[in-house]
Structures are given as C-alpha cells and as structure tokens.
C-alpha cells in the first residue's frame, strides 16, 4: 500500500480515489487552511485602524490593571504580537512554498537552490549556503521578523486621554451685597469661613495681607518661563501665568472631577474681569504727604483723577515720613474710573508721584486645570456683557490697595514699598537675560514696569479671593459644565497601525493575485519538499542515479577546482563541492507517484517526463474520468 501524501502532480494522469489510498484527494481545507488566518489579522487591523480614526480609548478596570501590572501587559503584548506575526509569516511562507513547488514540478533545480527554498519557506538561516543564495535568504529571514515587530507597536497599550462631561459650581454675582469695604476696626471685619480648604473672607485687604504681599513681591518673573504663583487657599493649586481673577472653583467646587483618580484635568469657561494696569509718573499730582499736629502721624491727601466728592484723605504712621508709601483711591461710588495714586517718602522716592489706572474689562476666559501637576492656565477668549453692572466688585478691589498701604506701613519701613521694590529688582534681572536684544531699562522704566506687574498680580488675586468668598462664605454659585480629560489607554501608535494594516492588505492582495494566477493552485501536487518523508521516498524511487551523479560530480568538480584554483564563494561553512551543484527534477510513474531524478541543466523544463517513463519501462496511462477533480 502506497502512502497518500506521495501522490504525484495533478497534471499527470491520475487514478480515482481508491480504498488502498493510492490516489488521495487534495482537500480544500488542506490547501487553504493557512490563508484563513488572515481573517483574524484583517479583523484586528481593521479594528485598530477604526480605533485610531475614531479615537477609541479604554478606561475602567483594564486601565487600572495595566497601570498596576505593566510587566504582565508587556508579556501579553509580546505573545500576541508573536502570534499575529506568525500568522502573517505563515501565509507568506505558504505562498512561497506553493510557488516553489509549482516551479519544481516544471523546472530542474540544483540542490543548493532547493536548500535555499527550504530555508526561505521555514524561514531560517543556513550558514553553509554560498553567498549568492545566503544574501537573499538573510533578507527574507530579516523580513520575517517585521510583522511581529509591527504588531507589537500596534497593540502596545499607551497612556492617552479621552474626554467626558463634568459639572462644577462657579461664583454668582447676582447678589453682591456682601462684597463691600468693611471697616478696619477689630471685630468689624466681613463674614469669613475657615476650613480644611483654606480661609475665605470678604475682608480681603485685611485678612489676606500675607498672600497679597507675596504676590506683589514676585510679580515680575525672572527669565523666559511663565510665573508660577499659588492660589489663595489650601488646595495646593498654582496658576501658570496670570489668573485674571478667575479659577476660584478649582479645588473648591470640583469634587466630582478632582476625586476621579483617572481624571487628568478639565477645562471650562468662566466670566471675569480682565484687569489692564497702566502706571505713569504724574509730576503734577495733587496727592501728597503732609505732617499733622500729632507726632509721627502724616496725612496723605489730595485730589485724584476720579475723585468726585472732594479730596481723598488717610492717615499714616511714620518716624519722620521718609518710610511711608501711601496709596490714594477714590472713595466715591459714582466714579466710573479706577485710579491709584502713590506718594512716598525719601526711602521710596522712586515710587513717589506714580499713578496707575486700572481698567476692568468683562471677559470670557478659558480655564484649563491640570489635576496631575495642580496647575491652572487661564486664557482670555472674548469680551462679554458686564456680569456686575453696579461695578461695586471692581471698586471694592481697588479700595483694598488703600487699606493695604495703611496696614503695611510702620515707623521705620513700608512692607508694601519693599514688595514693590522686589518686583522692580526682579524686572531688572529679567531684562538682563535679554540684554543682547534690547537696551537695559532706565530706573523710571523699571520702576513703572515692576509697579505695574505688582498692581496687576494683586488685583488678580483679590478678584480670586472675592470669587472664593462668594462660593465658600456667601454660598452664591451657579452650575457650569466642564470638559474632563480622563487618562485612558490607546492601543498602539498611529504609524504602526497604518503600517500593519497596509502589510495585512498587501499580503491579502498577494494571496488573491497568486490564487488568480495559478487558478487556485490547481496544478499543485501533494509532493512537498519540506516534508523529509516526501524527499526520502521520492529519492528512493529515483534509484541510484542521483547518488551516482553526485559522486561523479564531486570527483569532476574537485579535479577541475584544483586545476583552475577557483571555487565557490562561501561564508562560514565548508564548500560541499559537487553536491550543492547537482541538478535534480521531479518525475513520476504511471501511478502518479513522485520520483527524484537527475536533471540536465538548472532551469530545464519538465517536458522530458515522457522520455523518463520510456527509459524506466513505464507506459502511458489512460486518463481517468473525473481525475481533474480529485484535488479539490
């Protein structure tokens, strides 16, 4: 009984399928099973492409597992990438195998060529091949590593962000009855609340002196980076650049979003006042210091550009008046403009006769919150209708400067004046970084710039303080939607996904084109040169002819090599002179079984099969009806 797997080529006369197994059917599944693996890779690569296009993200328990066990995820990725890469390599190798088997049925090949085919189809490195075969083989083996690498880059989970909705509470200014100037007397301060999130009060100029003084001193950033300054509470958030008086809800009324461990941040829009400060020297200022009848008491009095009900007046303490920095602010509620006039003693002479105008423009702001780094970034968007038409918020904010300057002046020093000088010094230092690009500022220019920065920073912080008081003390708020950025996983990088999708498509096209070209591999026989059983039995059917030809060739090539002094080019292996150059071809008997025969020259066609049968005493067989369907 002859084993089924050694049935010869379909184009040779075949017998019907018999109980003795001489002519086995080559089933559809055996021929095409490897190609069905492309269903898996095509489905997965398509899903990955859709995930890139529609920005699909993974959150929840899988995200938490990936963060807790990254090594396990990496192991799983490598195994899956190897599996999917194996499918691609198996399909390509099957295409090569079928193509080589069809060629072997029609042409004679050398044993070195046959070895190369075997190595390419597995694929593996054979160090004993001649260089002319080894280089293509090395390139093929290298390409076999590419699919798994591309799959690894396509399915590796990466930290990304996705968006979802959220809600937070913004301060409402429909009721501003608590936003007003409270007396400086002990026990008459405005309403306040102290909790674990901080201290919140409507007496901003009295109760937040430390924070405001720090903001004034650090208002001028040194270097090219934006200024980072803390929010006036215990939420640990800091503003990156100006606060513009908004962002108070961050850390206070955003519990739903900030408590989400997967939330990376969020952004929302908030209305506030964009405060633009312009400071100048007014040499004709009517606001000045005058001694009084009381020792160590000096009066700061005079008219301001926005004074409507008479001159402004306030008392300051000082040993001799040299250390006083007095700020005058119009008290009238009818004043449409906001001015600050400064008069100072000799110790702070550069601040004397300076005057600043504050313009508050109702503006819509984008507020972006980074929950990972506790940063807040604010950007103006557009002007809006005034949300506080009474303008008592801006008036109260500016009035706090007069209170601060009075509280921060003692017999020997003005702490507010020192804070302004720190800002001026920082501005000079920042200009030194750009000394090559512009000339150094004059003393007056530096003074006005540093003072402008300080007044702006203090005004922004006061607006935030009043907004926080509206939320935490007055409980006056309104709901506002926010867009929340949540940490999630995305599978692979865009470039790798495109590459693996293109590779999968290319392999599918190659399969289709090859199937069309070969009519579904209809001429493919069951003989497979990768199966050692096929090779051994086929060689045994050929008799001693192959072995005798090999022995004769070894002797001939060895003699010719000694005479000419030439030989083949080899890499690492010893030149197996003779065997590799032996040319063989396939033939078959009348039963259609394979025999490995000695061929003529390499590439010779298979038209000599008829002659082979006659030499071996075989006879032509009759064509069996239905034989063309036996291989499915």
- Reported as a single tens digit per residue, the pLDDT across 286-343 is 898 888 888 889 999 988 887 777 788 888 988 888 999 999 988 777 666 788 999 9
The arithmetic mean of pLDDT across residues 128-142, rounded, is 88
Of 190-194, 344-348, 507-511, 625-629, where does mean pLDDT reach its minimum? 625-629
Over 90: is that where the pLDDT of 256 sits? no
Contact status, residue 109 vs residue 85, Cβ threshold 8 Å = no
Tell which wins on pLDDT, 625 or 106.
106
Least confident among 65-74, 275-284, 352-361, 469-478 = 65-74
| pLDDT recorded at residue 618 | 41
Tokens of 452: 């402008």
Confidence band, pLDDT 50/70/90 cuts, at residue 145 = very high
Q: Cα 292 to the chain's mean position, in Å?
A: 68
Quote the tokens at residue 355. 């005057």
Q: What is the DSSP letter of 414?
A: B
Beta bridge partners of 355: 280, 341
Pairing of strands 339-344, 312-317: unpaired
Ramachandran quadrant class, 319 (left: phi over 0; alpha: psi -120 to 50; beta: rest): alpha
pLDDT of residue 622: 37
Q: 79 burial class (0-12, 13-18, 19+ CB within 10 angstroms)?
A: exposed
Of the candidates 93, 14, 90, 94, the residue with the CA atom closest to the CA atom of residue 632: 14
Instruction: Pick 382 or 28 by higher pLDDT.
Output: 382
- Between the CA of residue 94 and those of 35, 36, 160, 516, 527, what are the distances in Å? 8, 12, 39, 16, 14
Beta strand 339-344 with 354-370 is antiparallel
What is the reported pLDDT for 294? 84
Cite the DSSP H helix spans in 518-618: 532-541, 545-564, 609-615
DSSP structure class, residue 139: H
Work out the angle at residue 257's Cα, subtended by the Cα atoms of residues 479 and 196, and round it to the nearest 5 degrees: 90
Give the pLDDT confidence of 506-532 residue by residue, as tens digits: 999 999 999 999 988 888 888 888 888
**442-501 pLDDT per residue, tens:** 899 999 999 999 999 999 999 999 999 999 999 999 999 999 998 888 888 999 999 999
pLDDT value at 174 more than 80: yes
Q: How many CB atoms lie within 10 A of CB 586?
A: 26
**Residue 446: helix, strand or coil by DSSP?**
helix
Give the Cα-Cα-Cα angle 236, 241, 243 (nearest 5 degrees): 70
Residue 435 makes CB contacts below 8 A (sequence gap 6+) with none
pLDDT at 352 over 60: yes
Q: Beta 583-588 vs 263-281: how paired, if at all?
A: unpaired
- pLDDT of res. 279: 94
* Residue of higher predicted confidence among 281 and 557: 281
Residue 19, pLDDT above cutoff 60: no
The confidence score (pLDDT) of residue 421 equals 94
Assess whether pLDDT exceeds 60 at residue 113: yes
What's the pLDDT score for residue 243? 94
* pLDDT at residue number 150: 95
What pLDDT does 455 receive? Answer: 95
Write out pLDDT tens, residues 35-62: 999 999 999 999 999 999 988 888 878 8
Q: List pLDDT tens digits, range 535-578.
A: 888 888 888 888 888 778 777 765 665 444 444 555 555 555 55
Strands 477-491 and 157-171: antiparallel
- 270 in Cβ contact with 407 (< 8 Å): no
Q: What pLDDT, on the 0 to 100 scale, is given for residue 31?
A: 86
Which of the listed ranges 6-10, 11-15, 81-85, 568-572 does the model predict with the highest average pLDDT? 81-85
Cβ-in-10-Å burial (0-12, 13-18, 19+) of 323 comes to buried
Q: pLDDT for 593-607, tens place per residue?
A: 788 888 777 666 644
Q: Is the pLDDT of residue 621 over 60?
A: no
Kindly list the distances between the CA atom of residue 246 and the CA atoms of 171, 203, 242, 586, in Å, as whole numbers in the listed order: 10, 18, 9, 86
Q: Where are the alpha helices (DSSP H) in 327-366?
A: none
Question: Are the beta carbons of 163 and 267 closer than 8 angstroms?
Answer: no
Q: Which residue has the higher pLDDT, 74 or 10?
A: 74
* Tokens encoding 365: 């702001």
Sheet with 109-110: list strands edge to edge: 109-110, 583-588, 594-598
Region 238-262: what's the mean pLDDT? 91
Query: What pLDDT, on the 0 to 100 scale, is given for residue 570?
Result: 53
Q: Phi/psi of residue 222, each to 5°?
A: -100, 125
Segment 618-624 mean pLDDT: 37
What is residue 610's predicted lDDT score, i.e. its pLDDT? Answer: 47
What per-residue confidence (pLDDT) applies to 61? 83
Distance of CA 249 to the CA centre of its chain: 29
pLDDT of residue 5: 42
Residue 200 pLDDT grade (very low, low, confident, very high; cuts 50, 70, 90): very high
Q: Do 549 and 559 touch, CB atoms closer than 8 A?
A: no
| pLDDT score recorded for residue 134 | 87
Interatomic CA distance for residues 542 and 615, integer angstroms: 12
Where exactly are the structural domains of the chain? 4-156+492-629, 161-488
**pLDDT tens column, 61-111:** 888 888 889 899 999 999 999 999 999 999 999 999 999 988 888 888 888
The answer to whether 152 touches 78, Cβ cutoff 8 Å, is: yes
- In this structure, the chain runs to a length of 632
User: What is the rounded average pLDDT of the residues 202-212?
Assistant: 92
Q: Check pLDDT > 80 for residue 180.
A: yes
Least confident of 26-30, 252-256, 501-505: 26-30
| Residue 411 banded pLDDT, cuts 50, 70, 90 | confident
Residue 222: is its pLDDT beyond 70?
no
The set of residues, in sequence order, having a beta carbon less than 8 Å from that of 559 and lying 6+ positions away, is none
* Residues in Cβ contact with 580 at an 8 Å cutoff, skipping those fewer than 6 apart: 110, 111, 112, 115, 130, 568
Looking at per-residue pLDDT, the higher value among 364 and 625 belongs to 364
| Residue 537 pLDDT | 85
Flag whether pLDDT at 588 surpasses 80.
no
pLDDT at 252 over 50: yes
pLDDT of residue 560: 61
């Amino acid at each position: 009984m002859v084993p089924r797997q050694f049935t010869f080529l379909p184009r040779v006369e075949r017998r019907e399928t018999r109980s003795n197994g001489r002519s086995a059917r080559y089933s559809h599944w055996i021929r095409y099973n490897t190609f069905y693996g492309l269903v898996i890779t095509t489905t997965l690569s398509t899903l990955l492409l859709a995930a890139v296009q529609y920005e699909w993200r993974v959150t929840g328990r899988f995200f938490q597992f990936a963060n807790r066990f990254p090594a396990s995820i990496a192991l799983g990725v490598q195994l899956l990438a190897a599996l999917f890469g194996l499918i691609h390599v198996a399909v390509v190798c099957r295409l090569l195998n079928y193509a080589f088997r069809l060629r072997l049925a029609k042409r004679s090949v050398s044993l070195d060529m046959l070895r190369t085919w075997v190595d390419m189809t597995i694929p593996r490195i054979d160090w004993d091949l001649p260089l002319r075969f080894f280089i293509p083989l090395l390139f093929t083996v290298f390409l076999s590593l590419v699919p798994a690498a591309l799959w690894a880059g396509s399915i590796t989970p990466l930290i990304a962000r996705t968006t979802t909705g959220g809600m937070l509470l913004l301060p409402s200014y429909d009721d501003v009855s608590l936003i007003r100037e409270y007396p400086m007397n002990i026990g008459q301060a405005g309403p306040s609340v102290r909790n674990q999130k901080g201290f919140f009060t409507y007496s901003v100029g009295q109760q937040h002196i430390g924070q405001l003084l720090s903001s004034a001193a650090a208002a001028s950033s040194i270097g090219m980076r934006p200024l980072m300054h803390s929010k006036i509470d215990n939420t640990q958030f800091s503003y990156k650049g100006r606060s513009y008086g908004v962002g108070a809800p961050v850390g206070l009324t955003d519990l739903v979003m900030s408590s989400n461990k997967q939330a990376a941040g969020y952004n929302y829009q908030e209305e506030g006042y964009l405060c633009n400060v312009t400071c100048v020297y007014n040499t004709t200022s009517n606001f000045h210091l005058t001694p009084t009848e009381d020792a160590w008491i000096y009066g700061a009095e005079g008219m301001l550009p926005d004074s409507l009900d008479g001159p402004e007046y306030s008392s300051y303490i000082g040993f001799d008046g040299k250390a006083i920095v007095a700020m005058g602010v119009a008290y009238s509620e009818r004043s449409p403009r906001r001015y600050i006039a400064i008069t100072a003693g000799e110790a702070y002479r550069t601040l004397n006769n300076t005057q600043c105008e504050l313009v508050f423009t109702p503006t819509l702001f984008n507020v972006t919150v980074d929950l990972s780094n506790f940063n807040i970034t604010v950007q103006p968007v557009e002007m809006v209708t005034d949300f506080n038409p009474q303008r008592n918020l801006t008036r109260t904010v500016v009035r706090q400067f007069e209170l601060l300057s009075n509280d921060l002046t003692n017999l020997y020093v003005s702490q507010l004046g020192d804070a302004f000088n720190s800002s001026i010094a920082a501005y000079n230092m920042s200009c030194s970084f750009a000394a090559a690009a512009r000339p150094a500022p004059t003393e007056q220019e530096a003074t006005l710039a540093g003072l402008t920065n300080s007044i702006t920073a203090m005004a922004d912080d006061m607006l935030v303080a009043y907004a926080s008081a509206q939320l935490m003390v007055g409980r006056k708020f309104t709901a506002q939607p926010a867009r929340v950025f949540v940490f999630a996983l995305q599978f692979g990088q865009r470039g790798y996904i495109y590459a693996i999708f293109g590779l999968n498509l290319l392999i599918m096209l190659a399969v289709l084109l090859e199937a069309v070209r070969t009519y579904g591999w209809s001429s493919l026989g069951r003989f497979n040169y990768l199966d050692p059983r096929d090779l051994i039995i086929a060689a045994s059917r050929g008799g001693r002819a192959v072995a005798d030809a090999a022995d004769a060739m070894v002797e001939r090539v060895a003699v010719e090599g000694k005479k000419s002094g030439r030989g083949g080019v080899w890499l690492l292996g010893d030149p197996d002179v003779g065997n590799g150059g032996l040319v063989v071809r396939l033939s078959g008997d009348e039963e259609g079984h394979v025999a490995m025969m000695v061929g003529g020259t390499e590439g010779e066609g298979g038209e000599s099969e008829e002659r082979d049968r006659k030499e071996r005493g075989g006879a032509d067989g009759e064509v069996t009806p239905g034989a063309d369907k036996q291989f499915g």
